[in-house]
């Protein structure tokens, strides 16, 4: 019968080895080379060399720190191997097990269980590797690790009984070590997994906080940088970043100058005399992030400058560096990895916003070009109709024809001199009156015009938006009627916007050529098609254009301008 004293000695030794493994685990968790490979699920085998060597060496240390008993060793060799297999997968488990197992077989204290321990160490590493996927999907990883390690230790005992000779000695050994090793080593594996899980979780929480901070800043600066990279937008954004991140100073530059320096050092880092530092120029030329851990590395020549460390992130657009974001701290060596990642994330978001501002600008230029092209369709259309009207008067009333030519010249002079892409309702009404002077000269008393314009109504619109509708009312509504008729032009506020309408008291349109239920036909008319397109380009889909007509009822063309089109 074995003494309790020996069992206590084994337990104490295993606890000491577990404590050593936990300390090493804490150190390894701080090594990016180790944690990056362990945490990544898409890794190359060459990346696993370092973890395999470290865990294999720890397994060897476990052999040396074991308790000799009956020609064998009670130890925690399996703990780093099994944990490595769970975290790193089959490759890490098997090869770290090979290192630790072959070492156990080859040392002088081999004993009658040397081969058995070698085989069991490799088998335990392999078992952990094949349990790795289920381990990562488990919600209670420490408990899963403890159960798996207990099963692995029981497997080791079975291998000793099957391979160690003589069997009686193997059985006697197993009876002594099975309890302490299964319990202590399984708990040790669980504790080490708990250490890694807590550290990884803390890293994830820290990353989540940084992401939240970056997104919060991006949300506040989105509207700013959509206006482009200017001293005004940079100043507002820099103050937001400095406040949200509690930094001593923030600066934003373009390729040639400091747009703004917000915070400490603004007395000498702002203004035309402030030049870009060498480190900033390096970031601009390389498009790569730069860090400065000392005042000398920052490159400021001012003797009392409070800026002691900095991270400089490039702002990119179309793979070209167009500026930098600079975050400053007031202590040397104060820039950590979190600061670097935060600066990188902010720079990416700001770069995306600047790219969107360029797209907005291009979209606006495209819309203006489309508006000018569509307006060019209207001008000849009106010109030809006006000339026809004047031609009809040249023989019957030359003086009147001359007067109308002067009106036409004045009308076109005003249009050609205007480079604006939008006009007020008042200006549009003036254009309409100029046109109607020409038409009233032709129709005389047969054409009556009524204006019902709500006072104080101020909206903007594309030039010549209403004039084609008035022209259609005169040509297609009034002209066919021998007795003439009336054209009513209205503008009034409505729910959600403003309604503009042109109504004629003519005979209507029997074939529904321009009515809403025959939109495809309506699009054949240059004026109507042009109005639909310009409304869509200028106001978006919330604007609408409607023509109501019926035989003997006259025709009404209505435009709805949504809120936002007002001045």
Q: Is residue 117 situated within a structural domain?
A: yes
The predicted pLDDT at position 156 comes to 93
* Domain encompassing residue 381: 362-562
pTM over 0.75, yes/no: no
pLDDT: which is higher, 368 or 157: 157
The predicted pLDDT at position 202 comes to 64
Q: Is residue 353 situated within a structural domain?
A: no
The predicted pLDDT at position 350 comes to 80
The predicted pLDDT at position 13 comes to 78
Q: Is residue 216 situated within a structural domain?
A: no
Give the integer Cα–Cα distance in Å for 199 and 192. 11
Residue 241: pLDDT above 70?
A: yes
Phi, psi of 485 (to 5 degrees): 180, -170
pLDDT: which is higher, 219 or 309: 309
Please check whether residues 379 and 505 belong to one and the same domain.
Answer: yes
pLDDT: which is higher, 465 or 108: 465
Q: Indicate left, alpha or beta for 247 from its phi (over 0: left) and psi (-120 to 50: alpha).
A: beta
Mean pLDDT confidence for 364-387? 61
Residue 374: pLDDT above 80?
A: no
Q: State what percent of residues in the chain have pLDDT above 70.
A: 81
Number of structural domains in the chain: 3
Residue 245: pLDDT above 90?
A: no
Mean pLDDT confidence for 74-98? 89
Domain end call among 287, 318, 335: 335
The predicted pLDDT at position 319 comes to 78
Q: Is residue 343 situated within a structural domain?
A: no
Residue 546: pLDDT above 70?
A: yes
pLDDT: which is higher, 138 or 520: 138
Please check whether residues 189 and 284 belong to one and the same domain.
Answer: no
Mean pLDDT confidence for 139-150? 92
Q: Using 50, 70 and 90 to split pLDDT, how confident is the model at 400?
A: confident
Q: Which tens digits make up the pLDDT trace of 333-372?
A: 888 777 888 888 888 888 877 777 666 666 665 665 555 5
Please check whether residues 20 and 159 belong to one and the same domain.
Answer: yes
Q: Is residue 221 situated within a structural domain?
A: no
The predicted pLDDT at position 520 comes to 42
Please check whether residues 164 and 272 belong to one and the same domain.
Answer: no
Please check whether residues 103 and 32 belong to one and the same domain.
Answer: yes
Q: What is the CATH number of the domain that holds 75?
A: 1.10.1760.20
Q: Is residue 407 situated within a structural domain?
A: yes
Please check whether residues 143 and 257 belong to one and the same domain.
Answer: no
Q: Is residue 347 situated within a structural domain?
A: no
Pairing mode, if any, of strands 485-494 and 447-453? parallel
The predicted pLDDT at position 121 comes to 93
Residue 477: pLDDT above 50?
A: yes
The predicted pLDDT at position 567 comes to 42
Please check whether residues 330 and 411 belong to one and the same domain.
Answer: no
The predicted pLDDT at position 369 comes to 56
Please check whether residues 49 and 190 belong to one and the same domain.
Answer: yes
Q: What is the CATH number of the domain that holds 243?
A: 3.30.450.40
Give the integer Cα–Cα distance in Å for 381 and 377. 7
Tell me the pLDDT of the chain averaged across its residues.
80
Q: What is the CATH number of the domain that holds 432?
A: 3.30.565.10
The predicted pLDDT at position 158 comes to 94
Please check whether residues 247 and 114 belong to one and the same domain.
Answer: no
- Could you tell me if 114 and 77 are in contact, meaning their C-beta atoms sit under 8 angstroms apart? no
Q: Is residue 552 situated within a structural domain?
A: yes
Listed in sequence order, the residues at least 6 apart from 317 whose beta carbon sits closer than 8 Å to its beta carbon are 351, 354, 355, 358
The predicted pLDDT at position 43 comes to 62
Domain end call among 200, 215, 239: 200
Kindly state the helix (H) or strand (E) to which residue 249 belongs, with its residue range. strand 249-254
C-alpha to C-alpha distances, 177 to 21, 102, 384, 391, 461, nearest whole angstrom: 20, 21, 108, 119, 91
| Terminal Cα distance for the chain, rounded | 101
Other C-beta atoms closer than 10 Å to the C-beta of 359 total: 11
Q: Using 50, 70 and 90 to split pLDDT, how confident is the model at 33?
A: low
C-alpha to C-alpha distances, 394 to 230, 400, 407, nearest whole angstrom: 59, 8, 15
Residue 525: pLDDT above 70?
A: no
Please check whether residues 24 and 64 belong to one and the same domain.
Answer: yes
Please check whether residues 262 and 372 belong to one and the same domain.
Answer: no
Q: Which tens digits make up the pLDDT trace of 387-397?
A: 877 887 787 87
Q: Using 50, 70 and 90 to split pLDDT, how confident is the model at 322?
A: confident
Residue 413: pLDDT above 80?
A: no
Please check whether residues 44 and 165 belong to one and the same domain.
Answer: yes
Please give the structure tokens belonging to residue 506. 């003519």
Poorest-confidence range of 231-235, 287-291, 405-409, 467-471?
405-409
Give the integer Cα–Cα distance in Å for 492 and 311. 58
Domain end call among 297, 317, 335: 335
The predicted pLDDT at position 324 comes to 92
Residue 81: pLDDT above 80?
A: yes
């Amino acid at each position: 019968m074995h003494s309790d004293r020996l069992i206590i000695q084994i337990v104490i030794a295993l606890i000491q080895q577990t404590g050593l493994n936990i300390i090493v685990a804490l150190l390894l968790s701080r090594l990016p080379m180790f944690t990056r490979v362990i945490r990544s699920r898409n890794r190359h085998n060459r990346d696993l060399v370092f973890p395999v060597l470290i865990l294999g060496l720890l397994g060897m240390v476990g052999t040396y720190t074991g308790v000799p008993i009956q020609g064998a060793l009670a130890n925690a060799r399996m703990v780093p191997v099994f944990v490595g297999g769970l975290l790193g997968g089959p490759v890490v488990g098997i090869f770290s097990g090979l290192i630790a197992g072959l070492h156990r077989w080859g040392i002088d204290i081999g004993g009658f269980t040397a081969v058995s321990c070698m085989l069991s160490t490799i088998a335990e590493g392999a078992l952990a590797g094949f349990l790795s996927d289920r381990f990562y999907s488990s919600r209670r990883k420490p408990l899963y690790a403890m159960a798996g390690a207990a099963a692995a230790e029981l497997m080791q005992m079975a291998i000793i009984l099957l391979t160690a000779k003589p069997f009686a000695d193997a059985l006697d050994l197993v009876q002594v070590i099975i309890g302490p090793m299964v319990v202590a080593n399984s708990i040790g594996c669980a504790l080490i997994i708990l250490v890694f899980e807590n550290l990884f979780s803390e890293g994830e929480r820290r990353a989540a906080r940084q992401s939240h901070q970056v997104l919060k800043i991006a949300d506040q600066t989105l509207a700013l940088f959509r206006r482009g990279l200017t001293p005004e937008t940079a100043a507002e954004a820099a103050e937001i970043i400095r406040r949200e991140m509690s930094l001593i100073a923030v600066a934003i530059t373009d390729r040639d100058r400091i747009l703004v320096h917000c915070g400490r050092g603004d007395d000498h880092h702002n203004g035309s005399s402030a030049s870009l530092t060498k480190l900033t120029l390096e970031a601009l030329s390389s498009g790569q992030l730069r860090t400065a851990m000392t005042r000398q590395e920052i490159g400021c020549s001012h003797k009392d400058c409070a800026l002691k460390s900095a991270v400089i992130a490039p702002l990119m657009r179309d793979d070209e560096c167009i500026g930098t974001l600079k975050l400053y701290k007031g202590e040397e060596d104060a820039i950590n990895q979190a600061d670097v990642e935060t600066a990188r994330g902010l720079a990416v978001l700001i770069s995306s916003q600047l790219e969107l501002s360029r797209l907005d600008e291009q979209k606006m230029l495209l819309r203006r070009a489309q508006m000018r092209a569509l307006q060019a369709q209207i001008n000849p259309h009106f010109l030809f109709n006006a000339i026809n009207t004047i031609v009809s008067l040249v023989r019957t009333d030359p003086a009147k024809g001359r007067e109308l030519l002067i009106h036409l010249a004045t009308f076109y002079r005003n249009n050609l001199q205007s480079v604006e892409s939008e006009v007020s309702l008042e200006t549009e009404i003036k254009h309409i009156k100029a046109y109607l002077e020409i038409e009233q000269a032709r129709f005389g008393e047969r054409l009556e015009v009524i204006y019902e314009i709500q006072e104080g109504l101020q909206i903007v619109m594309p030039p010549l938006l209403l004039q084609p509708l008035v022209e259609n009312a005169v040509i297609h509504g009034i002209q066919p009627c021998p007795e003439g008729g009336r054209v009513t032009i209205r503008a009034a506020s409505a729910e959600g916007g403003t309604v503009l309408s042109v109504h004629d008291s003519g005979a209507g349109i029997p074939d529904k050529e321009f009515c809403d239920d025959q939109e495809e036909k309506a699009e054949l008319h240059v004026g109507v098609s042009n109005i639909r397109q310009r409304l869509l380009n200028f106001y978006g889909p919330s604007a609408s254009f409607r023509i109501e007509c019926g035989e003997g009822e006259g025709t009404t063309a209505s435009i709805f301008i949504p809120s936002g089109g007002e001045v």
